[in-house]
Structures are given as C-alpha cells and as structure tokens.
Amino acid sequence: MNTQNFPTRASMLFHFLRGNKRYFLLSMIFAALVSLFDLINPQIISYTVDTVLDGEESTMPAWVDRVVMEIGGVSYLRAHLYVIALVVIGVALMGALFRFLFKTCNSIGAETLIKRMRDLLQEHIIHLPFTWHNANHTGDIIQRCTSDVEEIKTFLAEHLSNLIRIVVMILLAISFMLRIDTVLTAVSCAFFPIVILYSFFFHNKIGSRFERADMLEGKLSAIAQENLTGVRVVRAFGREQYEREHFEEANQVYTESWLKLMHLLSMFWASGDLITGLQVMLIVVIGAVRVIHGELLLGEYIAFISYNAMLTWPVRMLGRVISEMSKAGISIDRIRYIMNAEVEKNQDETFTPPMNGDIKFEHVSFSYGEHSPEVLEDIDFTIKAGTTVGILGGTGSGKSTLMYLLDRLYNISPEQGHIYIGGMDIQRMPMEHLRKNIGMVLQEPFLFSRTLADNIAITRDSLDMKEVRRASKIAMLDDSINKFARGYETYVGERGVTLSGGQKQRAAIAQMLIRKPPIMVFDDSLSAVDAETDAKIRKALDTQTGESTVILIAHRITTLMKADQILVMDHGRIIERGTHEELLAAGGSYSRIYALQSADAM
C-alpha cells in the first residue's frame, strides 16, 4: 500500500519502474547498438563504390584500411566482392539480433511495468477512504486505471525507450555525414530547430485537447457503468430511450473532442511531412549539383542520402516524443491524482483490545463536509455488552451514519465526540482489528460474480460447507438455495442480479454470521423479506447470536420490539429511548409509528 506522496511526475514513474528498470536500461543499450549497426552499411557501400570499384582514395578510418590490407588489400576485395557482401550480411544480422533483443527487453519491461502499475493502483484504491470513493465516479476511476495506464505504458515503451536510440542515431549520423560533406550536413541540420519548434508549438495544444478527451471518456465510462449495473431499473421504468439518448449525447461530445484532437495531430504530422519532404528535396538537389561539379564522390553521395533518410526518422520521432509527452503527462497526472489521495491510516500507537465490551457513543456530532449540515447532533448512549439494541427512524435520520462511524468508514475528530468499545476509543484501534470484529449487513447488500457458497464464505480463508449451511439456515436461506438446480454452486450474477432482494439480504446475513463477530450490525437488512420470514430470522438470531452485541436498524417495529433497548432518531438526534413497553407507554413518536404499522398490518 502506497503511503508516500508524489510531488512530480518523474517521482511517480520511478516508483512504478522499481524492479523493472533493468529491462528498459537493457533495451536502451540494445537500441543504441541497433542504431550503430544501421549506420555501418552505408559506409561499406560508400567505400565499395568509391575505393574498391572507382579506385578513389579511402576516406575510412585508419584501422579499417589496416584490416583491408591484412586480408589482401583493395585489389583482393575488387576480385572477391562476395567478401563485402558477406560483411554487409553480417552487419545486417548483428543489427537484427540487437533489434530482437531490444524488442524483447522493451516488451518485458512494458508488460511488467503495466502489471505493477495495475497492482499498485488496485492496492491503493481499496485502501482509500469511503469519502474518496463517494466523491469519485467508478467509471472515471476504471478509465484512469485502464486507458491512462495504457497511455503511460505506450509512452515509456514505444517513445521514451526509443529516445536513446534516436539520440544515438542523430549523433552518429551527423558525425558520419560531417565526414562526407559539411555543406550538405549544414543543410540537413538546418531543419532540426524547425522540427523542434513546431513540436513544442503543438505540445501544449495537444495536451489540453487530450486532457478534455480523457475527461470525457471518463464521463462516458461512468454512464456506461451505471447503465449496465442499473439495467434492471432502466428496463423496469421503460427508460431505455432516455438512457440511449443520454449516452449518445455524451458519446457525440466525446467523439467530437477526439476528432478535434485528431485534426490537430493531422496538422502536426502533415507539417512534419512537408518539412521532411523539403529537406530531402534540398539534399538530393544540392548533393547532385556537388557531384556534377566534382565536389562530392558518387559513393559518398549515395551514403549521404542513406544517412539523411535514416536521420529523417529519428528527427521526426523526436518531434513525436515531444507531442506524445503532452498526452502522457495528462495521463500521469490523472494517475497521480489517485496515488496522491491519502489512504486510511491508523494512529502511531494502536491497541487491539477484546471487542466484547460495552459500546459507548459520547456526544458525537457529524457532518459529511465543512459546509454540509450536521447529520448527527450530540448523540450520547451506551450499549451494554451482549445486549440487543434497536434503532428506529425515518429516512435521513442518521441511523446508518451511526454504524459507519462505529466501523470507521467515516472518521470523527476529537471535537466531534468519541466512540468507545470496552472503554477504548476506536480511533486508537487498528482499522483491520476493528472491522474484523464488527460484522455489518449493509442496507444495500453487494454480492460478487461467484457461486453462492463462495459469496457466503467470502470472509473466510477456506470454504467450509458445514459452516456455510449453518449460517444459511439461520438466515432462512438454506431452503431457497436447495431449490436451485445447482444448490450452493449456483453462480450469482454481477451484484447478485439472479437473486431476489430478500435472497440477497439473507445471503448478506449469512455472510456476516459465518464470521461470528462479537458485534453484529443489521442495517435495515430485513426490509426486503416478508413479515413471516422476518419473524423466523429474528427468532433464529435470538438463539444463535450467543454473547454477541447486536444492533438492529429498521423501519419495522416488529423487527425491534424484543430488543433490550430501542433508540428513536429524528433529524440526527435521539428523541426517545427505552424498551418497547416503555416507549409505548410514553405515547410519543414510537407509539404513533407502532399504531400506524399495526393498522397497516390489519
């Protein structure tokens, strides 16, 4: 889990590259060798045409002339041209070998890099606070972890790793070209500043348009993700046309954004082609004139044109690296936004006390933001260990928020109050210890795309069917599962779409019961089951929860009426508390709600 901050793009890239830098280093070395061997053959051709065939004086380095003399001199090569052909083939084979090694190391480096990036992002994201996830769309997060990660990999593997090859190619080509003709070299190099300048001119424009396109892709992904996960709601309310038009509208904006980016990139590459064409034309024309006037040998002219052609690619690639850098920079910043988000942290000194003590909320107030109204106001109560407490309240009364605070899905500052378990402030407990000992059945249960048995046993390290069946029987789910053709091996669709609402709730209850935690929280987890099943589950829980402290949150008074203590909440405050009988006798809100629900049930 990443706990460090990345102040710069480079610092985050080096963090991702940890462990696979050697592959990129080797790929750069092999890329340099590829460039070197690519530049040797034109020199051999030049030497063959001018020295071996035309008898001109050699312009090769002295050590080359010494090697030629040792094998019999220029006359020997003239009589045995196959030797030169073999050298050309040998150089080409060495270049091919180094190109293979470059591609292999580069591919391994790229794939290990992208694996590490995905692993680190996944680990980091699952440790981010609940508030961060509420503030960021799932679709946008997925897009950052896929498209943006791929963009960074492409830049590092295909562009940045080629940078050393480009630099080596340019330096070696210019050095060879200078040995042939300084005038032509000056003409060729005169175009370098133009390429660099127009690349930087397009750099910021490409970056801003890519950032907008990337942002719009995230929005489009979020719309698609919401429609796919909520497809049953869309179909149930006949909203297919509306959602289709909504998606198409967003898709149109996204497409137009990419078309504008492609238009800009087309201008960028067209400008490059024009400048490159002008440079090649000038070299060909001026070089031909110099050959005619005897200022340049034919072999040298052929070699120079070869070097200039080789130089065209790296110069254009250098411009492309500059332009691609703007796109990669945006993607790096989008990933850095995630990696710099602060993960949940424990205090420096923490304790792991027994969790079977009293639970105490001491003057707790809470709001979801600085400028948001208070969701809870001065909440103060104690739950005795091993007892059952019921919490009743309307929508928005703060019932669920209480449990999120207890489980530290949201944190409170000392000024907002304290929550104790067994006399220990939960802020001083490791979150892993706290959550491991608090079993929560949330209001909206989430099931994964696995078998029913795997979903129920998801909190266990190994699958114990005996425990799975025991928990399912308590949750009144065993009979329903046995009616399925594949029983506990029934595959649950995404988010449990193959199950009814009540079955999902009961599966979530079984999921929690299999852990046997000392604190059990049922957050309106029986709302989707009928009254008869509700009564059976409550009766089973009364006998099976043992010494666990049980917190029941519900709208249905029949679910709470046997609790040792009942709290009635309204607009973030506790307005009544007592047993069922005491609250009925008080004649307050609880009594009125009970009367209404009793009348509805008749």
pLDDT in tens, 82-104: 888 888 888 889 989 998 998 89
Asked whether residue 208 falls in the same domain as residue 270, the answer is yes
> Are residue 334 and residue 399 in the same domain, yes or no?
no
Identify whether 349 is part of a domain.
no
Average of per-residue pLDDT across 39-45: 77
| H or E segment and range at residue 489 | none
Q: Which of 320, 36, 21, 276 is nearest to 165 (CA)?
A: 36
Q: How far apart are CA 580 and CA 599, in angstroms?
A: 17
How confident is the model at residue 566, as a pLDDT? 92
Residue given tokens 């907008």 in the structure block: 212
Q: What is the pLDDT of residue 425?
A: 92
> 200 with 232, same domain?
yes
Long-range pairs of 120-125 with CB within 8 A, sequence gap ≥ 24: 120/2, 120/15, 120/16, 120/339, 121/145, 121/149, 121/335, 121/338, 121/339, 123/1, 123/2, 124/1, 124/2, 124/338, 124/339, 124/341, 124/343, 125/338
| Cα–Cα distance measured from residue 574 to residue 379, given in angstroms and rounded to the nearest whole number | 7
Is the model's pLDDT at 8 over the cut of 80? yes
Helix/strand/coil (H/E/C) assignment for every residue in 373-420: CEEEEEEEEEECCCCEEEEEECCCCCHHHHHHHHCCCCCCCHHHCEEE
Q: Which residue has the tokens 């079993």?
A: 439
Q: Kindly report the number of other CB atoms within 10 A of residue 254's CB atom.
A: 20
pLDDT of residue 527: 67
Of 339, 372, 405, which residue sits at a domain end?
339
pLDDT digits (tens, 9 = 90+) for 438-454: 988 887 777 887 888 88
Residue at 315 is within a domain: yes
For residue 601, is pLDDT > 60?
A: no
Residue type, 512: M
* Structural domain range at position 32: 9-339
Confidence of residue 1 (pLDDT cuts 50, 70, 90): low
Same domain, 260 and 380: no
Average pLDDT over the chain reads: 82
| 11-15, 301-305, 482-486, 583-587: least confidently modelled range | 301-305
276: Cβ contacts below 8 Å, ≥ 6 apart: 191, 312, 315, 316
DSSP assigned state of 204? H
Domain-embedded: residue 352: no
Last residue in a domain, options 308, 339, 370 = 339
Q: What is the mean pLDDT of residues 514-537?
A: 78
Name the domain count of the chain. 2
Q: Clarify whether residues 163 and 303 are in a common domain.
A: yes
Q: How far apart are CA 477 and CA 469, in angstroms?
A: 9
Q: What is the pLDDT of residue 602?
A: 54
Q: Given a cut of 60, is residue 361 above it in pLDDT?
A: yes
Q: Within this chain, do residues 395 and 284 fall inside the same structural domain, yes or no?
A: no
Asked if residues 361 and 381 have their Cβ atoms less than 8 Å apart, the reply is: yes
Quote the percentage of the chain above a pLDDT of 90. Answer: 10
Between β-strands 549-554 and 388-393, what pairing exists: parallel, antiparallel or unpaired? parallel
- Tell me, yes or no, whether 319 and 389 share the same domain: no
**What is the pLDDT, as a whole number, of residue 30?**
87
371 and 334 share one domain: no
The answer on 163 and 41 residing in a single domain is: yes
Question: What CATH number corresponds to the domain at position 147?
Answer: 1.20.1560.10
Residue 188 lies in a domain: yes
On whether residue 300 sits in a domain, the answer given is yes
378 within domain boundaries? yes
Residues 247-266 have a mean pLDDT of: 86
**Cα(439)–Cα(459) distance, integer angstroms:** 10
Containing H/E element for 161?
Answer: helix 161-180
pLDDT(62) > 80: no
Q: Are residues 321 and 397 in the same domain?
A: no
Highest-confidence range of 41-45, 289-293, 402-406, by mean pLDDT?
402-406
pLDDT value, residue 45: 77
What pLDDT score does 498 carry?
A: 67
pLDDT single digits (tens) 117-163: 899 999 999 889 888 888 888 878 888 888 888 888 888 877 776 67
Residue 344 resides in a domain: no
The percent of residues above 70 in pLDDT, for the chain, comes to: 93
Q: Among 339, 374, 404, which residue terminates a domain?
A: 339
pLDDT of residue 495: 58
Same domain, 559 and 512: yes
Is residue 478 within 8 Å of 436, Cβ to Cβ?
A: no
Tell me what the mean pLDDT of segment 158-172 comes to: 74
Residue 257 lies in a domain: yes
**Has residue 281 got a pLDDT over 90?**
no
Q: Is the domain of 368 the same as that of 460? A: yes
